Amino acid sequence: MRTASNPPPVIAIDGPTASGKGTVAMRVADQLSFHYLDSGALYRLVAFASEEAGISVDDESGLGAIASRMQVIFKDNKIFLNGKDVTKLIREEKIGTRASRLAIYPKVRDALLTLQREFRQNPGLVADGRDMASRIFTDAVLKVYLTASVQARAERRYKQLIAKGISARMNVLLQDLQERDARDINRGTAPLQRVEGAYLLDTSDLSVDQAVTQVLNWYAKLHH
C-alpha cells in the first residue's frame, strides 16, 4: 500500500523549447503506462485565454486570475479550455512566445501549482517543462535535463510547424528560440536550470527512439 511518504513516482524532464522533451516524455510515459503532464501547455493556455480576454501581458494580477479560473481537460491527446478544443491553437509560435513572457510572474506560476501536482497519480507520472525538477516535483525519482543545439532545435520546430500546415521562416525561428531561451533561463522565478542530480541528455544527434531508450534505462537502473 502506498502512503503519503511513498507517493507515485515522478520522472521529471526539463529543457529548453523545441528540445524534443515533449515527444520523449510522452513516449516514456506510454512505455511505462504512466500519466503524462505537458506543463508548457498550461502556460500556453494562460497565454491563449488571456489574449482572448484582452488582458495585457504586463498585467500580473489579471493573468494570475485567468490562470486560476481556467477549466482544463486533457483527453485523447486533445486539450480543452473551458469546453473548447484548443489543441492546435495553443501550438502557434505567438502563443509560445506570449507564454514565455507571462511565465515570469509568480502569480501565474503559483496559480498553476496545484493543477500540476494533481497529475501525480498511480502508477506514476512523467512531467515535462522547465521547473519540474527544481520546483513542482522536487522529489522526482529521476530528473533529466534534455537539450539540443539551437540549430537542431530550430530545424525540428521548423519541420513540426510545416507538417502542421503552419508557415514558418528559419531565421525568424532561430531568433525567437534564442530570445525564448534567454527569457526562460534568466527569469527570477523558477528559471530553466539543470538541477543537481539531473542526468544530461543532449539529443542533437539522437533519434527519438534513442532518447526514449536512454531515459528508460536510467529509470530501470533505479530499481537495481
Residues that bind ligand DC (CB under 6 A): 17, 39-40, 43-44, 96, 99-100, 103, 129-131, 180, 184
Q: Does 19 appear as a known binding residue?
A: yes
Nearer Cβ to ligand DC, position 85 or 220?
85
Nearer Cβ to ligand DC, position 25 or 212?
25
Nearer Cβ to ligand DC, position 28 or 217?
28
* Cell reading at 194: 539543470
Q: Which of 105, 15, 122 has the alpha carbon at shortest distance from 63?
A: 105
β-pair type (125-129, 10-14):
parallel
Q: Which residue has the cell 527544481?
A: 134
Q: Does 16 appear as a known binding residue?
A: yes
Q: Does 83 appear as a known binding residue?
A: no
Taking the complex as a whole, the smallest distance from the CB of residue 101 to ligand DC amounts, in Å, to: 9
In the chain the beta strands, taken as DSSP E runs, fall at: 10-14, 35-38, 72-75, 78-81, 84-85, 125-129, 142-147, 199-202
| Opening angle at CA 145, ends 144 and 147, nearest 5 | 135
Q: Does 15 appear as a known binding residue?
A: yes
Taking the complex as a whole, the smallest distance from the CB of residue 32 to ligand DC amounts, in Å, to: 21
Taking the complex as a whole, the smallest distance from the CB of residue 219 to ligand DC amounts, in Å, to: 20
Nearer Cβ to ligand DC, position 37 or 215?
37
Q: Cβ distance 55 to 62 under 8 Å?
A: yes
Taking the complex as a whole, the smallest distance from the CB of residue 196 to ligand DC amounts, in Å, to: 18
Q: Does 21 appear as a known binding residue?
A: yes
Please list, in sequence order, all residues whose beta carbon lies within 8 angstroms of the beta carbon of residue 129, skipping any fewer than 6 positions away. Answer: 13, 14, 37, 38, 39, 40, 136
Taking the complex as a whole, the smallest distance from the CB of residue 5 to ligand DC amounts, in Å, to: 26
One-letter identity of residue 36: Y
Q: What is the distance between the alpha carbons of residues 210 and 203, in angstroms, rounded to a whole number?
A: 9
Nearer Cβ to ligand DC, position 133 or 206?
133
Q: Does 106 appear as a known binding residue?
A: no
